[in-house]
Amino acid sequence: MHKWGGLFFYPGGYMSTFAKPWLSIDDQCSLLLDRGLIVNNIDNLRNALTNIGYYRLSGYWKHYMQTPGAHGKEPFISGTYLHDILALYQTDQKLHALLMPKLMNVEVYLRANFAHLYAEKHST
C-alpha cells in the first residue's frame, strides 16, 4: 500500500499536494533496479538515496535514461552503473565547491556597486 505525500509549503506560503506516492528507500532501490540501473552493492545505492536523495540524484541520472525528457518509468540506457551517476554527482559537487567562493565574491562586489550607484542616482 502506498502512502501519499502531504502538503508542501512554498516560500510564498502556497501549498500543494504531492502527485507521486511515497516510496521507502528499499522501494526506491527496487524501482531503479527495475528500470535497469546496474548496482554492484545495494548498500551503496541505499546510502546514496538516504544521504543525497532520489530527486537530487535524478538530475544526474536523467542523462543515462533512454528518454531523458520523459517523465515516468523510462528505463536506463543499457550498461548504466550507479558508480557512473555518483561520479557525475561528485564531479559537480567538486566544481560547485571550487566556484562558489569566487562567485560569492563577485556577487557581493556587484551588489555593493549597484547599491552605491543606485543610491547616488536616486537619492534626494
Neighbouring C-beta atoms of residue 10, cutoff 10 Å: 8
Q: Report yes or no on whether pTM surpasses 0.85.
A: no
Q: Tell me, what's the pLDDT at 11?
A: 63
Amino acid at 72: G
Amino acid 50: pLDDT: 98
Average pLDDT, stretch 19-35? 93
| Average pLDDT of the segment spanning 79-96 | 97
Task: Match 536506463 to its residue by C-alpha cell.
Answer: 76
CA 97 to CA 43: how far, in whole Å? Answer: 26
